[in-house]
Amino acid sequence: MLPAIATQDWCDRAAVVLSKLFDGAPVGVAIGEIDASGTFLRLESVGAAGAVLSAEKQDVIRRRFEMATKLGWTLGEPSTWNGPLAARLADLPVGLSWAAQEAGRQWANIGVSELLVGAATISPQRPGRVVIIEVGRPGGRPFEDADTTTLSGVMRAVARRAFKAFGPDPISSNRMLTPREQEVLSRLALGESVKEIAVRLDRSPHTVHDHVKALHRKLQASSRGALIARALGYLSADGAAAPGIPEHNGGRTGAIASVG
């Protein structure tokens, strides 16, 4: 299940879910703001995963987003999208020139020759703020229409979960929970006290208390109950009651369940 709060590894976790959906394929995930040409206006978070993908190759995929000023492909003006969109890169106008682009070369460097791409708006208030997904295939069987249907279906759930976690407006990395903060939060949700958490994590109560203060600040929670509500997804990042995840899918319900 993807976190209902913004974490530093949120996009990595999303990539893991999507990789499993596509038989362990290498996957890149990004959250950011783009325009109609695919130019990055802002990048908030990136992640990568793959069943047999080394840490070094995962970093190649992350850098593909981090170092880019443009996606290298576009699905049109985000404000005109009627839901998530997905396509085989080869079917897009950029398909013929993709291999010569920097992003295309980076994917080729990890052995990917075929790409499935998709994007979904996180909130209607900012249609250009999207979840971006790229799924690679090293060769062999090309992506089919069923694959694009599957990706667009699961992306709806990913985008809604991203809204729960990241909220309606862009956030900086210092608002995202660190692994240690996630661990402290999970212990708080289990009902443990600061002293008990300190003993379990072999840290001083003062250090754990600092983590708790950071959690209150990052999650904009005024009480322990509000912290836990955010962690469990009962409240979204803007403090409103969070909507549920829809059950619509492209025929693979397990992936939707993993998301939300």
Arithmetic mean of pLDDT, 32-61 = 96
pLDDT tens-digit series, residues 83-105: 999 999 999 999 888 888 999 99
Arithmetic mean of pLDDT, 206-233 = 88
Indicate the CATH number for domain 173-232.
1.10.10.10
Arithmetic mean of pLDDT, 64-91 = 95
Residue 243: the pLDDT is 41
Task: Give CB contacts under 8 A, 24+ apart, made by 170-176.
Answer: 170/33, 170/42, 170/44, 170/126, 170/129, 171/6, 171/44, 171/237, 172/44, 173/8, 173/44, 173/45, 174/218, 175/6, 175/218, 176/6, 176/7, 176/8, 176/10, 176/45, 176/218
pTM for this structure?
A: 0.85
Where do the domains of the chain lie? 10-171+241-259, 173-232
* 10-171+241-259 and 173-232 agree in CATH topology: no
Arithmetic mean of pLDDT, 233-260 = 48
Q: Which CATH number fits domain 10-171+241-259: 3.30.1540, 3.30.450, 1.10.287, 1.10.10?
A: 3.30.450
Residue 237: the pLDDT is 56
Give 46's strand partners.
30
Per the model's pLDDT, the better-predicted residue between 29 and 124 turns out to be: 29
pLDDT higher than threshold 60 for residue 138: yes
Arithmetic mean of pLDDT, 67-93 = 95
Residue 236: the pLDDT is 52
Residue 241: the pLDDT is 47
* Residue 38 backbone phi and psi in degrees, to 5: 85, 10
Lowest-confidence pick of 82-91, 151-160, 227-236 = 227-236
